Amino acid sequence: METSRSNRRYALVASTVGTTLEVYDFFIYGTAAALVFSTQFFPSLDPAAGLLAAFLTYAVGYVARPLGALIFGHFGDRIGRKSTLLVTMLLMAVPTVLIGCLPNYEQIGLAAPIILCVLRILQGVAYGGEWGGAVLLAVETAPRGRKSFFGSLPSAGAAAGLVLSTVAWAATSRLPEADFQQWGWRLPFVASVVLMAVGIFVRLKVEETPDYRQTRSAGQIPRAPILDVFRTAKASMLWCIGARVFENSWFSIVLVFLVGYAVSAAGISKMEVLNAIALGAAVSVPTLLLVGLLGDRVGQKVLYTAGAIALAAWTWTMFDLVRDGQAKLALVVGLGLIWPFVYGPQAALFAAQFDARIRYTALSVATQLAGILAGAIAPLIATVLMNRANGSTLPIEIYLTVLALAGLASTYFMKPHQVLDEPAAPVQTTAARAAVVSTSA
């Protein structure tokens, strides 16, 4: 089934704004965990324990993501992408605004960190359903031969969300420290309401994707998508998880662990490291679009392979540069020029591993399970490894290199993203198979 050019435009804007909002909301929390949450919500703990507690609340969001993937993947495959994505956007933005209004420990005591964790869980549930749906909105609406480029746009939106979140923190960090600690840290959270309004307006205008409409018209909507996923697509999920774990671990360590490391171990100012991240993320936006264009020509598997090798190699230089005070160079090259080659291919490449009838569920569950194994615990693992190595980052570099090898192995077994351009094979339902058996008998 084809779709109009106007709907393609709306779909691209809707998916791009959605990933911008989700990454903005999710990672302003990560920066807050590194910079202020230990004093705002865990002041009774010593600084090291307070920072670990703050990172644990950050990790809770990752743990909640698979639940969101199950819930919204189910409805995304059952009732459609559009309605599901409206709900995920609201569920992402509203808790973010509430975190910005949440009283701290000194004001309401133990209730403050408890409410913070609950809101973080809601964020994680929404994120678990948002990424897969936004990616499918773009990829499934794309014309033949353009799946890679269309898939790169929500990825570029995610990078734009990172830019916005980092710029927001850099701006508030200019406040006097007392004002920043008292009310300034809340501003980035409250500001997300603007992105939410834009995203809802655009998503109300978008149509269902052609792939979903074709599945529905063929009567192939599954009753329990997750059961079909584990019955027919276990291997494909494993390959997606393996490829995602490396990229997500590297990204999470840079966005969360490296901020605190640069400030405490390298003596770089908070403003300088945030500006370096913002610049690196800004450079990644056109790089991601380039990856999309190249992917339609050479294939996403090739790009991921090259990117994983380059990113693992750069990691061994990155920490040395940060220690030498060259955070800008380290992050512009790593985050801006190399990371897009392992993140950008994921949209179209992962979507190609699954049938349209279970694609929302399978894509969401696979990526969010990887999030637990990667982004949720990577900053904690990095912290523990460095502490046990007396401040050396060598174990972290080894850790990320091993994950890169796992990502390369996983990508080798994947189907190329070009299968998305092939006509969908008819799916034989359980009832149809039973009828064939009965007739043959």
- Residue 425: the pLDDT is 53
Q: Which residue is listed with tokens 């380039």? A: 290
DSSP H/E element including 56: helix 47-78
* pLDDT score of 427 more than 60: no
- Residue 269: the pLDDT is 82
- Residue 441: the pLDDT is 33
Let me know if residue 440 belongs to a domain.
Answer: no
What would the pLDDT profile of 71-128 be if each residue is shown by its tens digit? Answer: 999 999 999 988 898 899 888 889 989 999 999 888 888 888 889 889 989 988 998 8
Q: Which residue is listed with tokens 């549930």? A: 125
Q: What is the CA radius of gyration of the chain?
A: 21
DSSP annotation of 144:
T
Query: Residue 426 — very low, low, confident or very high, per pLDDT cuts 50/70/90?
Result: low
Let me know if residue 131 belongs to a domain.
Answer: yes
Let me know if residue 122 belongs to a domain.
Answer: yes
Give the integer Cα–Cα distance in Å for 402 and 183.
42
What would the pLDDT profile of 268-286 be if each residue is shown by its tens digit? Answer: 887 788 788 889 989 999 9
Give the integer Cα–Cα distance in Å for 61 and 59.
5
Domain that holds residue 233: 5-210+225-420
- Other Cβ atoms closer than 10 A to 145: 12
Let me know if residue 438 belongs to a domain.
Answer: no
**pTM for this one?**
0.84
DSSP H/E element including 229: helix 225-232
- Residue 292: the pLDDT is 93
Let me know if residue 216 belongs to a domain.
Answer: no
DSSP H/E element including 19: helix 5-35
Q: Which residue is listed with tokens 């982004």? A: 375
Tally of domains in the chain: 1
Contact call for residues 8 and 206 (beta carbons, < 8 A): no
Q: Cα-Cα-Cα-Cα dihedral of 166, 9, 289, 255, to 10°?
A: 20
For residue 4, the SS3 value is coil
DSSP annotation of 225:
H
What would the pLDDT profile of 127-140 be if each residue is shown by its tens digit? Answer: 888 888 888 998 98
What's the distance, Cα to Cα, between the start and end of the chain in Å? 37
Burial (0-12, 13-18, 19+ Cβ within 10 Å), 426 = exposed
Let me know if residue 433 belongs to a domain.
Answer: no
Let me know if residue 194 belongs to a domain.
Answer: yes
Query: Residue 429 — very low, low, confident or very high, per pLDDT cuts 50/70/90?
Result: very low
Distances 410 to 38, 124, 227, 305 between C-alpha atoms, Å: 37, 26, 23, 10
Let me know if residue 441 belongs to a domain.
Answer: no
What's the CATH code of the domain at 195? 1.20.1250.20
Nearest Cα to 79, choosing from 121, 129, 125? 129
What would the pLDDT profile of 167-219 be if each residue is shown by its tens digit? Answer: 888 788 788 888 888 888 899 999 888 888 888 888 888 888 888 888 899 88
Contact call for residues 401 and 315 (beta carbons, < 8 A): yes
